C-alpha cells in the first residue's frame, strides 16, 4: 500500500468513527427531547432560577445539532475518500475549517468574558439554595435530584450544609441534616450544621475543585481535538490535490 492508499484508508477509518459517534450523540439528543421525565424538565420548574439557566433545557437541541454535524462530516470524509470525490473532500475541508475557527473563537470569548461566567454561577447558586430551602424534603423530585447529586459527588448542599437551614427536611427532622451529608448513615445525620461545618464540602466547590484538578486534562483534550482537526484538513487536501492531479 502506497502513501496515497494509506492516507485514504486512514481517512475512511477516522471518519467512520466520527460517523458512528455522531449517530450516538444524535440518538441521545433525540432521547433527551422525547423523555419528558428527564432531569432537564425538572430544572425548568425551579422557581427563582436565573433566566440563563433555561438555556440548559436546550441541551437536547445542542446534542442533535452536534450529532447531525458529525454525521455529515463523517459521511463526507468517508465517502469522499472511498469514491475519491473532489467535491466531497473539499466540502469536508470547509466544514472542518469552519468548526475549527468557531472553536478558537469560542475559547477567546470564554477567556475574555470570564467575569460574566462567574456572575452567572452566583445567580445559579442563589437559585439552587432557595430551591433547597423551599422544596427539599417536601418535593419528591427535588429531594431525589439533590440526594442523587450529593451521593454521587460526596457533597452536602450547594455551597455547604447551611443551605439546608429552614428547609422542610431540616424542620421536620429536628434541625438535623440529610444522611447524604454524613456518608455511611442511612438515617438523618445526627450532626447539626455547626457540628458539620467542616465535615464535607458543598457540591459546587466539589465540582469546581474537580474541574481545577483536571484543567491539564481538559486543555490536553481540547488541544488533541484541534490537532486531529488540523490533520484531517491536511489529509483531505492531500487527497484532493492527488485526485485532482491524477484526473487532470
- For 129, other C-beta atoms within 10 Å of its C-beta total 22
Q: Rg of the chain's alpha carbons, rounded to an integer? A: 25
Mean pLDDT, residues 12-37: 80
Residues 6 or more apart whose Cβ sits within 8 Å of residue 24 = 67
- For residues 107 and 7, state if they share a domain: yes
For the ranges 31-45, 60-74, 100-114, 220-234, the lowest mean pLDDT is seen at 31-45
Q: What pLDDT, on a 0 to 100 scale, did the predictor assign at position 94?
A: 92
**Residue whose C-alpha cell is 481538559:** 218
Q: Which residue has the cell 486512514?
A: 10
141 and 187 assigned to the same domain: yes
Domain holding 158: CATH number?
1.10.1450.10
188-215 confidence digits (pLDDT tens): 565 666 555 555 788 888 888 887 787 7
pLDDT for 1: 54
pTM value surpassing 0.85:
no
Q: Are both 30 and 52 inside the same structural domain?
A: yes
Q: Note down the domain range covering 81.
A: 3-112
Give mean pLDDT, residues 117-144: 84
Q: Of the candidates 148, 135, 107, which has an alpha carbon nearest to the alpha carbon of residue 48?
A: 135
Contact assessment for residue 49 and residue 43, using Cβ atoms and an 8 Å cutoff:
yes
Cα 199–chain centre separation: 29
- Cα 152 from Cα 125, distance rounded (Å): 19
What is the CA angle 102-106-112, rounded to 5? 145
Greater confidence (218 vs 21) lies with: 21
| Eight-state DSSP code of residue 91 | H
pLDDT > 70: what percent of the chain?
Answer: 79
Residue 34: phi and psi, rounded to 5, are -80, -35
Is 38 contained in some domain? yes
The answer to whether residue 32 sits within a structural domain is: yes
pLDDT of residue 93: 92
Chosen domain end from 62, 83, 112: 112
What is the pLDDT, as a whole number, of residue 227? Answer: 87
Q: Is the pLDDT of residue 123 over 60?
A: yes
d(CA 162, CA 80): 59
Domain identity same for 46 and 102: yes
Evaluate whether residue 234 is within a structural domain. Answer: no
pLDDT for 52 equals 46
121, 100: one domain: no
Q: Which residues of 161-171 are buried (b: 16+ CB within 10 A; e: fewer)?
A: bbbbbebbbbe
Q: Name the domain count of the chain.
A: 2
Shared domain check, 108 and 8 = yes
Q: Of 7, 5, 17, nearest to 73 (Cα)?
A: 17
Amino acid at each position: 500500500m502506497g502513501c496515497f492508499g494509506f492516507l485514504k484508508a486512514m481517512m475512511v477509518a477516522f471518519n467512520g468513527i466520527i460517523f458512528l459517534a455522531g449517530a450516538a450523540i444524535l440518538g441521545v439528543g433525540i432521547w433527551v427531547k422525547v423523555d419528558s421525565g428527564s432531569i432537564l424538565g425538572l430544572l425548568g420548574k425551579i422557581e427563582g432560577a436565573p433566566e440563563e439557566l433555561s438555556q440548559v433545557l436546550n441541551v437536547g437541541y445542542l446534542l442533535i445539532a452536534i450529532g447531525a454535524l458529525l454525521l455529515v462530516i463523517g459521511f463526507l470524509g468517508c465517502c469522499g475518500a472511498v469514491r475519491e470525490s473532489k467535491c466531497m473532500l473539499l466540502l469536508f475541508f470547509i466544514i472542518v475549517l469552519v468548526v475549527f475557527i468557531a472553536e478558537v473563537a469560542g475559547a477567546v470569548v470564554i477567556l475574555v468574558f470570564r467575569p460574566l461566567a462567574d456572575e452567572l454561577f452566583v445567580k445559579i447558586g442563589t437559585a439552587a439554595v432557595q430551591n433547597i430551602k423551599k422544596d427539599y424534603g417536601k418535593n419528591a423530585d427535588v429531594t431525589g435530584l439533590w440526594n442523587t447529586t450529593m451521593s454521587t459527588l460526596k457533597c452536602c448542599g450547594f455551597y455547604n450544609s447551611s443551605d439546608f437551614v429552614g428547609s422542610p427536611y431540616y424542620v421536620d427532622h429536628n434541625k438535623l441534616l440529610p444522611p447524604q451529608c454524613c456518608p455511611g448513615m442511612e438515617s438523618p445525620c445526627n450532626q447539626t450544621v455547626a457540628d458539620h461545618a467542616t465535615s464535607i464540602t458543598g457540591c459546587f466547590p466539589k465540582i469546581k475543585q474537580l474541574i481545577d484538578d483536571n484543567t491539564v486534562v481538559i486543555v490536553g483534550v481540547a488541544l488533541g481535538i484541534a490537532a486531529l482537526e488540523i490533520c484531517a484538513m491536511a489529509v483531505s487536501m492531500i487527497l484532493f490535490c492527488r485526485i485532482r492531479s491524477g484526473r487532470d
